[in-house]
Structure 1
Amino acid sequence: MPSASVLTPYLTRPNRTHTLTLLTSLLSSPSTWLTHSLLTRHIDDDPNAPILLLSLTHERAFHSDGLRKLGVPLQHLDRSGKYTFLGIADLPLMGGGAVSDVVLGAVESARAAGDGRGLLVVIESPDILLQTGGGSYSGVMDLVLRVLEVVMPRPASYYLLPHRLTYPTCRMSEHTIVSVNVDEALMRDEEHAAFVIGLGHVARRVFGLRGLETGVARDVSGVLRITTGGAEEGDVDGGKEVLYFVGDGGGVEVFERGEVRGR
């Protein structure tokens, strides 16, 4: 788990239900460590809450290894039926509505297994569906919103989105975390850019990972910027920017600029 003193206020579970946290990253600055940190904090806060992790970039073993290094009791979660993993191999090849049916069915099953506890849904790299023809912008965005169940009032920025979005009313997840790639080459694609911008409009908080402006450093992996999203209603801390370092063993150190670090 990263340094508690720096990130603790930003890793806590939202007070309001049905919220979206957005993680943006680059190929050179992946967000998996942050996803695992948010998952670990959620499990620490409520060990019996159900979790669904949908990853389109990594297999179950990869995430299991990363979470175990953070002390997450995955065997207990597996036995209790509270942890569900879906990988790209679990999704139908034809894409479109068939993908949505599989994902929403898994979400409903995970929610039902929670005995009334709030469900956390983590969706890693849904933008891959756009790149592989697994769905259009409107289809993939609609899937995320149906998982989230956006029952909050629509932000004014909603009406500025390039496509009309359907806001569903079925109760699905209590909190959703979505990670997407924002490399410059991908953001030149109209649908990819629209998807990222659309997620930002409905997110409560945005974690953005990028490299150093000055290039590669031996003891700094990148920059983490935390900002409020378009759905923020004054109940979250404002923006913050910190540095982070991912060690060879997967351990992560997060620190302020200019901070004297231990050796």
Structure 2
Amino acid sequence: MPPQTPLTPYISPPKNPHTLTLLTSLLASPSSWLTHALLATHLTSDASVVLISLTQDRAFHVDGLRKLGVPLHHLDRSEKFTFLGITDSTSALTRSFSTTVLAAVESAARVSGGRGEGVVVVLESLDLLLQIGGEGGYVGVMDLVLREQEVAEHTVVSVNVDEALMRDEEHAAFVIGLGHVARRVFGLRGLETGVARDVSGVLRITAGGVGEDEGEGDGGGKEVLYFVGDGGGVEVFERGEVRGV
């Protein structure tokens, strides 16, 4: 079980079904560590997890989860964890990415349904589909999210919100659309004061368009700092918090 941090109450599995969590990040402040923190929370629950990654391979995610103490080899044998990476996703684009994703989600749902549990779907860097013209643009990609959300117990989507990308009308519409249907939004950015030796960036947590009606966390928003170490370990802490050396 991952250690308790100021982030823990906000990444706990939601109580309401068919909810969406949105992760926004910048190229200089990637969200992979936060994706792994959310994955670890769901993988240590009873849910099945489907991870679709458009930017990283399986080894990258396995290493990140291993650092959080998740024994993926046990989960593979129990059919609780399904992974589609760069190779799978890229080849699928020549046919239909949505068909590949929905087939994986529905297969996991059948397995988890036999156990009476739900499915958690994580779509990493989904905005990449817009950049390469996949799924017919904004409407097609948004439709994919809404369709798999009907099957999944919970969905996590990560997107990039660098200024250059947000100037694109479809990209901006996609990010805004996701925010409207999200239960919670995690926004990663760098420090406004520049680079610091022991702080990598700022994480802002706010309610999405569907609001916070579960009595969990703070619907008004929360902001914490984080530090990604050389070995990939991440520390999350409050502003002004006294930290160990």
TM-score, with length taken from structure 1: 0.87
Please give the per-residue CA displacement for 1:14-41, whole angstroms capped at 9, x wherever unaligned: 1101000000000000001011111111
Distance 2:170 2:103 in 1: 26
* 8 A contact 1:18–1:176 mirrored in 2: yes
Q: What's the offset of the Cα at 1:233?
A: 4.5
Partner of residue 7, structure 1 = 7
Partner of residue 257, structure 1 = 239
Distance 1:2 1:246 in 2: 16
Please give the per-residue CA displacement for 1:89-144, whole angstroms capped at 9, x wherever unaligned: 21365849711111101110111111231101000011000001112100000001
* 8 A contact 1:92–1:98 mirrored in 2: no
Please give the per-residue CA displacement for 1:210-256, whole angstroms capped at 9, x wherever unaligned: 00001111000000000000011432422000100000111111111
Letter in 1 for 2:43: I
Which structure 2 residue ranges, 5 or more long, are not aligned?
none
* 8 A contact 1:51–1:84 mirrored in 2: yes
Letter in 2 for 1:4: Q
Partner of residue 146, structure 2 = 145
Distance 1:58 1:80 in 2: 23
Partner of residue 77, structure 1 = 75
SS at match of 2:172: helix
Distance 1:93 1:73 in 2: 28
1:72-221 correspondence runs (5 A): 72-91=70-89, 95=93, 98-114=96-112, 115=114, 116-135=116-135, 136-149=137-150, 172-221=151-200
SS at match of 2:96: helix
Which structure 1 residue ranges, 5 or more long, are not aligned?
150-171
Distance 1:41 1:94 in 2: 28
RMSD, aligned α-carbons: 1.7
SS at match of 1:91: helix
* 8 A contact 1:25–1:209 mirrored in 2: yes
Letter in 1 for 2:199: V
* 8 A contact 1:137–1:191 mirrored in 2: yes
Partner of residue 157, structure 1 = none
Partner of residue 54, structure 1 = 52
* 2:207 equivalent to 1:228: yes
SS at match of 1:207: strand
SS at match of 2:134: coil
Distance 2:157 2:193 in 1: 28
Partner of residue 153, structure 1 = none
225-234 or 19-28: bigger deviation:
225-234
Q: Mark the CA change 1:27 to 1:2 in structure 2 (over 3 Å): closer, same or farther.
A: farther
Q: Mark the CA change 1:37 to 1:94 in structure 2 (over 3 Å): closer, same or farther.
A: closer
Identical aligned pairs, as a percentage?
71
Distance 1:223 1:177 in 2: 20
Distance 2:99 2:36 in 1: 26
Distance 1:212 1:71 in 2: 29
Distance 2:125 2:67 in 1: 22
Distance 1:194 1:33 in 2: 26
Distance 2:212 2:68 in 1: 32
Paired positions, count: 239
Partner of residue 43, structure 2 = 43
* 2:48 equivalent to 1:66: no
Q: What's the offset of the Cα at 1:261?
A: 1.1
TM-score, with length taken from structure 2: 0.93
